[in-house]
Amino acid sequence: MTAKTKLSCRNVWKLYGADADGFLHQNPAPSGDDIKRAGIIGAVRQASIDIAEGEIFIIMGLSGSGKSTLVRCLSRLIEPTGGEVLFDGVDLLRATEQELIEIRRHKMGMVFQHFALLPHLTVLQNVMFPLTIQDTPKAEANAKAREVVELVGLKGREDYYPRELSGGQQQRVGIARSLVTEPDLWFLDEPFSALDPLIRREMQDEFLRLQARLHKTIVFITHDFEEAVRLADRIAIMKDGEIIQVATPEELVMNPATDYVAEFTKHIPRSKVLTVAGLMTRGGTGEGEPIVHTTRVSEVAERVISADAPVPVCDENGLHVGSIDRKAIAHVLFGSGDPA
């Protein structure tokens, strides 16, 4: 069954410069050279994507590629110069200011790199803040906030102030605050980039744990491809305001659409990206406990290489689909990295 589209954008532009609106109206599909000659900056250029309900969709690109601008257009924190942004089939660009306020209050959550916690409020008060704005009864707001604080692993720190927390704990407060209104759509703009590597890894684990429980539709920005590989269902690569390719992490590595995408992904160890499904012998038999076909090669490499016989592979329902042997794993670890 095809997943329902939760958020999509069609031909979205964000141009900066004198009379950018008029320029786009007169030139509905300007080239990069057209934009430069007009003295316009093309922050987002003709972006079109569909994001499925429950999907973790990651947007990547170098600094200045347009990824943060695109997310702000999707949430209408900034006004696109042209195009459509559809949320549950409703064009956000046609929504009134009051309609947008209600959507943001009840259906969207946002987490940014800078936590923006209110320093004079405790953890619990910071998390309750969105509910306070919604005029939620105090007892109900308190109960919801305590539930979410526990969900992100901060039970016992409800009365701490932000200055008394580590960077990772502060980020958890930011995540809890964005979740307390139970949003359908969750925007995260490089939420872990300011954290130390160990804490960042822990927050990625926490993020995956939360998603397994909550099944949110997530738009996540990062510049770290290894982080994207760990978290993403699909990835969009941006360059100079354009979306160059949208694909799964495995597809990006194995079938890059351009030299830019190939360069972007070339330093990632293939074992961390490739799944067993891409290496297995379909219908082949094996011995021992089966491996789920979506498992990353890096997670099972040692087991398969040390096995005396091929290892069986199953799908998510436990049905046998094939087998994988040490030769296939060795080819990824020590060879070209491509499936044999």
**Residue 339 clears pLDDT 70, i.e. is over it:** no
Q: How far is CA 243 from CA 21, 56, 62, 246, 260, in A?
A: 21, 17, 12, 8, 12
H/E element, 173: helix 167-179
* 96-100, 111-115, 281-285: least confident range: 111-115
Q: In the predicted model, what is the mean pLDDT of the chain?
A: 90
10 bridge partner residues: 84
Task: Give the whole-angstrom CA distance, residue 319 versus residue 293.
Answer: 10
**Residue 206 clears pLDDT 60, i.e. is over it:** yes
pLDDT bucket at 338, cuts 50 / 70 / 90: low
Tokens representing residue 302 in the block: 């040692």
Closest C-alpha among 94, 248, 113, 110 to residue 185: 110
**Residue 60 clears pLDDT 80, i.e. is over it:** yes
Number of helices and strands in the chain (H, E): 13, 14
Burial class, 55, CB count within 10 angstroms (exposed 0-12 / middle 13-18 / buried 19+): buried
314 bridge partner residues: 292, 320
Provide the edge-to-edge strand list for the sheet that holds 242-247: 108-112, 185-189, 217-221, 56-60, 234-239, 242-247
Structural domains of the chain, ranges and CATH numbers in brackets? 52-84+92-107+183-268 (3.40.50.300), 271-334 (3.10.580.10)
Proportion of the chain above pLDDT 70, given as a percent = 97
- Contact partners, residue 238, CB within 8 Å, separation at least 6: 59, 60, 61, 65, 66, 67, 70, 244
Output the pLDDT for position 307.
93
Q: How far is CA 191 from CA 45, 132, 150, 183, 242, in A?
A: 25, 24, 20, 17, 23
pLDDT, tens only, 62-94: 888 999 999 999 999 999 999 999 999 889 999
Output the pLDDT for position 334.
83
pLDDT, tens only, 175-200: 889 888 888 999 998 888 877 888 78
Task: Specify whether the CB–CB gap between 117 and 167 falls below 8 A.
Answer: no
The pTM (predicted TM-score) of the whole model is 0.85
**Residue 145 clears pLDDT 90, i.e. is over it:** yes
Q: By 3-state DSSP, what share of the chain in percent is helix, strand and coil, each rounded to 5?
A: 40, 25, 35
Output the pLDDT for position 340.
46
Length of the chain: 340
State the average pLDDT over residues 242-261.
Answer: 93
**Residue 302 clears pLDDT 90, i.e. is over it:** yes
